[in-house]
Amino acid sequence: MNFQTSISYLKGVGPSRAKLLGKELGIFTYADLANFFPNRYIDRTQFYKIRDLQINSADVQIVGKITGVKSVKQKRGSRLVAQFVDDTGHMELVWFRGVKWIQDSLKINVPYVIFGKVNFFNGAFNMPHPEMELLSDYKKGFKISMQPVYRSTEVLSSRGVSNRVMQKMQQQLFTETQGKFGETLSEKLIRDQGLISKNEAMFNIHFPQSQELLTKARQRLKFEELFFIQLQLVVKNLTNKRKNKGFVFDKIGDYFNGFYSAYLPFELTGAQKKVVKEIRMDLNTGAQMNRLLQGDVGSGKTIVAVLTMLMALDNAYQTALIAPTEILATQHFNAIDELLAPMNIKVRLLTGSSTVAQRRVIHEELENGSLHIIIGTHAVFEDKVLFKNLGLAIIDEQHRFGVAQRAKMWMKNDLPPHILVMTATPIPRTLAMSVYGDLDISVIDELPPGRKTIKTIHRFDSNRLSVFKFIKDEVGKGRQVYVVYPLIKESEQLDYKDLMDGYESISREFPLPDYRISIVHGKMKSADKEYEMQRFVKGETQIMVATTVIEVGVNVPNASVMVIESSERFGLSQLHQLRGRVGRGADQSYCILLSGVKLTKEAKKRLQTMVETNDGFKIAEVDLELRGPGDLMGTQQSGVLNLKIADIVQDSQVVYTARKAAIQVAHSALGHKDPAYKNIWATFGEIMKNRSIWANIS
Ligand SMILES: Nc1ncnc2c1ncn2[C@@H]1O[C@H](COP(=O)(O)OP(=O)(O)OP(=O)(O)O)[C@@H](O)[C@H]1O
Write the single-letter amino acid at 237: N
C-alpha 346 to ligand 1 mean position (Å): 22
35-49, 123-137, 410-424: least confident range: 410-424
C-alpha 307 to ligand 1 mean position (Å): 13
Rounded Cα–Cα distance for residues 471 and 493 (Å): 28
User: Residue 273: which residues within 8 A CB-CB, separation 6 or more?
Assistant: none
Hey, what's the torsion of the CAs at 130, 136, 137, 141, to 10 degrees?
110
Does residue 635 surpass a pLDDT of 80? Answer: no
- Residue of 264, 272, 299 with the most ligand 1 atoms within 8 Å of its CB, for mutation: 299
The predicted-structure confidence for 586-604, as pLDDT tens digits, reads as follows 789 999 999 999 999 999 9
Pairing of strands 60-73, 78-86: antiparallel
User: Residue 625: which residues within 8 A CB-CB, separation 6 or more?
Assistant: 649
- Per-residue pLDDT band at 513 (split at 50, 70, 90): confident
Average pLDDT score over residue span 364-379: 93
Question: Is residue 548 within 6 Å of ligand 1 at its C-beta?
Answer: no
The predicted-structure confidence for 72-123, as pLDDT tens digits, reads as follows 888 888 889 999 999 999 999 999 887 888 888 899 999 999 988 898 888 8
Q: What backbone torsions phi and psi does residue 144 show, to the nearest 5 degrees? A: -140, 155
C-alpha 422 to ligand 1 mean position (Å): 13
Question: Is residue 374 within 6 Å of ligand 1 at its C-beta?
Answer: no
Indicate the fold that domain 45-140 takes in CATH: OB fold (Dihydrolipoamide Acetyltransferase, E2P) (2.40.50)
User: Three-class SS of residue 698?
Assistant: coil
Question: Is residue 486 within 6 Å of ligand 1 at its C-beta?
Answer: no
- Per-residue pLDDT band at 629 (split at 50, 70, 90): low
C-alpha 301 to ligand 1 mean position (Å): 6
Per-residue confidence (pLDDT) for residue 255, from 0 to 100? 95
Average pLDDT score over residue span 492-506: 82
Rounded Cα–Cα distance for residues 414 and 199 (Å): 49
Indicate the fold that domain 455-613 takes in CATH: Rossmann fold (3.40.50)
Note the ipTM here. 0.98
Which residue owns the Cα nearest ligand 1 atom 14? 298
Per-residue confidence (pLDDT) for residue 621, from 0 to 100? 84
Write the single-letter amino acid at 90: H
User: How many CA atoms lie less than 13 Å away from 193 in the CB half-sphere?
Assistant: 29
82-86, 142-146, 228-232, 282-286: least confident range: 142-146
Question: Is residue 606 within 6 Å of ligand 1 at its C-beta?
Answer: no
The predicted-structure confidence for 609-623, as pLDDT tens digits, reads as follows 999 998 888 888 888
Question: Is residue 246 within 6 Å of ligand 1 at its C-beta?
Answer: no
Rounded Cα–Cα distance for residues 536 and 200 (Å): 66
State the CB neighbour count (10 A cutoff) for residue 476.
10
Q: What backbone torsions phi and psi does residue 425 show, to the nearest 5 degrees? A: -100, 100
Average pLDDT score over residue span 269-294: 92
Per-residue confidence (pLDDT) for residue 34, from 0 to 100? 93
Average pLDDT score over residue span 198-208: 95
66-70, 166-170, 296-300, 480-484: least confident range: 296-300
Indicate the fold that domain 254-283+300-423 takes in CATH: Rossmann fold (3.40.50)
Q: Which three-class secondary structure string do you get for 289-350?
A: CEEEEEECCCCCHHHHHHHHHHHHHHCCCEEEEECCCHHHHHHHHHHHHHHHCCCCCCEEEE
Average pLDDT score over residue span 174-180: 91
Does residue 637 surpass a pLDDT of 50? Answer: no
The answer to whether residues 560 and 481 touch, using CB atoms and an 8 Å cutoff, is yes
Rounded Cα–Cα distance for residues 369 and 316 (Å): 9
- Residue of 263, 302, 425, 582 with the most ligand 1 atoms within 8 Å of its CB, for mutation: 302
- Per-residue pLDDT band at 636 (split at 50, 70, 90): very low
Does residue 638 surpass a pLDDT of 50? Answer: no
Rounded Cα–Cα distance for residues 439 and 68 (Å): 67
Question: Is residue 9 within 6 Å of ligand 1 at its C-beta?
Answer: no
- Per-residue pLDDT band at 560 (split at 50, 70, 90): very high
Question: Is residue 241 within 6 Å of ligand 1 at its C-beta?
Answer: no
78-92, 97-111, 354-368, 559-573: least confident range: 97-111
Alpha helical stretches, state H, 142-285:
153-156, 163-177, 187-193, 198-206, 211-243, 254-262, 270-282
pLDDT averaged over every residue in the chain? 86
Which residue owns the Cα nearest ligand 1 atom 9? 300
Domain ranges of the chain: 1-42+144-180, 45-140, 254-283+300-423, 455-613
Rounded Cα–Cα distance for residues 145 and 42 (Å): 9
The answer to whether residues 164 and 44 touch, using CB atoms and an 8 Å cutoff, is no
Rounded Cα–Cα distance for residues 23 and 291 (Å): 39
The predicted-structure confidence for 415-461, as pLDDT tens digits, reads as follows 888 989 888 777 777 777 777 777 788 889 888 887 788 999 999 99
C-alpha 295 to ligand 1 mean position (Å): 10
Percent of the chain with pLDDT over 90: 44
Which residue owns the Cα nearest ligand 1 atom 5? 448
User: Residue 323: which residues within 8 A CB-CB, separation 6 or more?
Assistant: 329, 332, 375, 376, 377, 396, 397, 553
C-alpha 581 to ligand 1 mean position (Å): 11
C-alpha 548 to ligand 1 mean position (Å): 21
Rounded Cα–Cα distance for residues 222 and 651 (Å): 8
- Same topology for domains 1-42+144-180 and 254-283+300-423, yes or no? no
C-alpha 7 to ligand 1 mean position (Å): 58
Most confident of the ranges 45-59, 183-197, 479-493, 628-642 = 183-197
218 versus 400: which is more confidently predicted?
Answer: 218
Most confident of the ranges 14-28, 48-62, 137-151, 269-283 = 269-283
Atom of ligand 1 nearest to the CA of 553: 27
Question: Is residue 303 within 6 Å of ligand 1 at its C-beta?
Answer: yes
Which residue owns the Cα nearest ligand 1 atom 6? 448
- Residue of 275, 296, 303, 575 with the most ligand 1 atoms within 8 Å of its CB, for mutation: 303
CA 55-56-58 angle, to 5 degrees, is: 130
Per-residue confidence (pLDDT) for residue 457, from 0 to 100? 96
Please list the helix, strand and coil fractions of the chain in percent, rounded to the nearest 5, in that order.
Answer: 50, 20, 35
The predicted-structure confidence for 255-264, as pLDDT tens digits, reads as follows 999 999 999 9
User: Residue 438: which residues within 8 A CB-CB, separation 6 or more?
Assistant: 233, 236, 237, 240, 290
Rounded Cα–Cα distance for residues 390 and 615 (Å): 36
Which residue owns the Cα nearest ligand 1 atom 8? 300
Question: Is residue 301 within 6 Å of ligand 1 at its C-beta?
Answer: yes
Which residue owns the Cα nearest ligand 1 atom 1? 268
Which residue owns the Cα nearest ligand 1 atom 15? 300
258-267's contacts with Cβ under 8 Å and 24+ in sequence apart are 258/343, 259/306, 259/307, 259/310, 259/340, 259/343, 260/307, 262/342, 263/339, 263/342, 263/343, 264/303, 265/339, 266/448
Per-residue confidence (pLDDT) for residue 490, from 0 to 100? 62
Question: Is residue 116 within 6 Å of ligand 1 at its C-beta?
Answer: no
Average pLDDT score over residue span 669-682: 70
User: May I ask the CATH architecture of the domain 1-42+144-180?
Assistant: Orthogonal Bundle (1.10)
